[in-house]
Amino acid sequence: MGKMYINGEWVKSKTGETRKVINPYNQEVIDTVAEGNREDTIYAIQAARKAFNNEDWRQLTGEERGDLLYQIAQSIRKERDELARLETLNTGKVLTESIGDIDGVANVFQYYAGLADKDGGSVINSPNPNSVSRVVREPVGVCGLISPWNFPLLQLSYKVAPAIAAGNTMVIKPSELTPLTTIKLIEIMEEVGFPSGVINLVLGQGSTVGQEIAESLDVDLVSFTGGTETGRTIMQAATSNFKKTSLELGGNSPNIIFADAQFETAVDYALNAIFFTTGQACNAGTRLLVEKSIHNEFVNELVKRAKNIRMGDGLDPETEMGPLVSAAHLNNVDNYIQIAIEEGAELAVGGKRPEGETLQKGFFIEPTIFNHCHSKMSIVQEETFGPILTIETFDTEEEAIQLGNDTRYGLAAAVWTEDTNRAERVVGQLLAGTVWVNDFHINFPQAPWGGYKQSGIGREMGKEGLEEYTELKHVYKNTAPQPMGWFGNQ
Ligand SMILES: NC(=O)c1ccc[n+]([C@@H]2O[C@H](COP(=O)([O-])OP(=O)(O)OC[C@H]3O[C@@H](n4cnc5c(N)ncnc54)[C@H](O)[C@@H]3O)[C@@H](O)[C@H]2O)c1
Ligand SMILES: C[N+](C)(C)CC=O
C-alpha cells in the first residue's frame, strides 16, 4: 500500500482511510494508497516548519543542495522504465509519452542542480559613502506544492526541484487520481538523503489536503498547477496570510496556420497539438485557425488522419492515443461535445465513444473535430481538456491575431508560416506565455513556462522558476557609523 511521507517516516493516514488507484484503460485497481485529511496535512506542515528552522537544512550550501538534486536526476534516469510504466498505468497515456515525461523530470532536476549555487546575490550602488549595499535571495520557507493528474511527475518536478535548490522545505500534494510516481519520487529522495521534515508527502483530496495547504498560516508559499477555477479558490484561501502564490492554470491555445505554411508538417503538428495525451495538456492546440484559402484541403487531411488514430492500452506499442483519466472527466468531455452540437458546430469526425470490445472498459472518446466554429461557441471559449479540436477560418493577419487572442486564457499559441517577418509580427501580438513558430508543444527546463491572463500567475522553469521560491533581501551596511544628532540634541 502506498503511504504518506511525513517528518522522515512512511505513515498511514490518521483515520486509516485509503483510496483505490485506478487504471483508466481498464478500470482495474493498480494500488491502494493512504487517504490523508486536514489533520495529516497540519502534521506535515509542522514537520516542514521545524525542518526549515533546523540548522541541518539551513546550513547546507547551494552546492550541497545542487548535489542532492543531481543525485535525484541520476536515480530517476536509472528508474526511468519503471517510472514511465507506472505513469502510463495510472494516467492511460501511451508509454512513449511517459518516457518523454520521465526524461523531462530528470532534466528538470539536473537543470536546477546546476542553478542551485549560481546566485550569490549582487552589490548595488549605494547613495552614501562608507556603506555597502547588497541584495541577496533567501528561501521563502514552507512551500505547499499542489500538482495535477495530466503530467503527474513532470508538473511536480517544476516545483520540487527549484524549491530545494532555493533551500525551502515542502509539503507535496499530488492529484488524488495519480499519486503513484510521486510516491516513487519520494522513495528516491529518501534514499538520496534529506533531513527529516524537509520533504513531506500528503495524499488526499483537494478540498481537504489542498485547501488546508492553501489556507494555512504556517505555509509561506503555495504553488499550484491545475484548473483555473481551482486556482481562484486557492488564491482566495492564500490571502489568509498573503502567502506567495504561483498559479499554472488552464489554457485554450490557438494554432494559427497561414496558407504559405509547409502543408504536410502543419497538418501533422496540428494533430499532435490536440491529440497528444488525449487532449489533456494545458497547452493543447485546441483552436485551429486556418487561412480560408487552404481550409477545405487542410480539414480533409486532418479528418482523414484522425479517423486512423489507434486507441488502446498505453502499454501497447501500437497505441497512439489512450483513454481520458477518469469516468468523471469522460462525462465532462462528452457534455462539451453535446453542447457543441446543440450550438451548431459541424461534427467532422469522432464525437462518440469508440466501438471495439477492448475499449469498452476504458474511459475512451474518439478523436473529435468540429468544423465551422465561431468564437461565441462554448466549445471555442472553454477548456474542454479532451481530444476535441475546433476549427475557425480567417482572411487576414489581423483577423488571425484577433481570433487567437479571443479567449480568457493565455498559456500558449503557435503560428505556422514561411514568412519570417509575418511570424515576428504575429508573435509580437499574441497574448500568451509561450509562442511557437512552426512547432508545437516543445518545452524544456531552460525556458520559463506560464500564462498570461487567466492562465496563471508567475513562471515555472528557467531561472525565473527558481526566483519564485526566493525572497529578496536588501542588506545595507554602514562601514563608518557616526551619531546623527537628530533628536534631543540641544
Ligand atoms: N498551466 C500549466 O502549466 C498546467 C499544466 C498542467 C495542467 N494544467 C491545468 O490543470 C487542469 C487539469 O488538472 P486537474 O483536473 O488535476 O486540476 P484540478 O484543479 O482539479 O486539480 C489540481 C490539483 O489541485 C487539487 N485541488 C482541487 N481542489 C483544491 C482546493 N480547493 N484547494 C487546493 N487544492 C485543490 C487537486 O486535488 C489536484 O491535486 C486543467 O485545467 C489544465 O489546463 C495547467
Ligand atoms: C507543461 N506541460 C506541457 C508539461 C504540461 C501541460 O499540461
**Chain segment 107-156, per-residue pLDDT in tens:** 999 999 999 999 999 999 999 999 999 999 999 999 999 999 999 999 99
pLDDT at 366: 98
| pLDDT exceeds cutoff 80 at 237 | yes
35 contacts 4 by C-beta, under 8 angstroms:
no
Q: Of 101, 280, 282, which is best to mutate to test ligand 2, by the most ligand atoms within 8 angstroms of its C-beta? A: 282
Q: How far is the CA of 228 from the centre of ligand 2 (A)?
A: 15
Q: Average per-residue pLDDT in the chain?
A: 98
180 contacts 84 by C-beta, under 8 angstroms:
no
Q: How far is the CA of 441 from the centre of ligand 2 (A)?
A: 8
**ipTM of this complex prediction, to 2 decimal places:** 0.96
pLDDT at 22: 98
How many whole angstroms separate alpha carbon 112 and alpha carbon 126? 32
Q: How far is the CA of 434 from the centre of ligand 2 (A)?
A: 12
Residues 205-212, mean pLDDT to the nearest whole number: 98
- Determine the residue type at 79: E
| 27 band by pLDDT with thresholds 50, 70 and 90 | very high
Residues 328-332, mean pLDDT to the nearest whole number: 98
Residues above pLDDT 90, as percent of the chain: 99
Report the nearest atom of ligand 2 relative to the CA of 449.
1
pLDDT at 489: 83
For residues 69-81, one letter each, b for 16 or more C-beta atoms within 10 angstroms of the residue's C-beta and e for the rest, the string is bbbbbbbbbebbe
- Determine the residue type at 179: P
Ligand 1 pocket list (CB less than 6 A): 146-151, 155, 173, 175-176, 205-207, 210-211, 214, 225-227, 230, 233-234, 248-251, 282, 383, 385, 411, 451, 455-456
* Residue 99 DSSP SS3: helix
Q: How far is the CA of 438 from the centre of ligand 1 (A)?
A: 29
How many whole angstroms separate alpha carbon 388 and alpha carbon 3? 36
pLDDT at 231: 98
Q: pTM of the prediction?
A: 0.98
Ordered alpha helix ranges (H), 193-294: 211-215, 228-237, 263-275
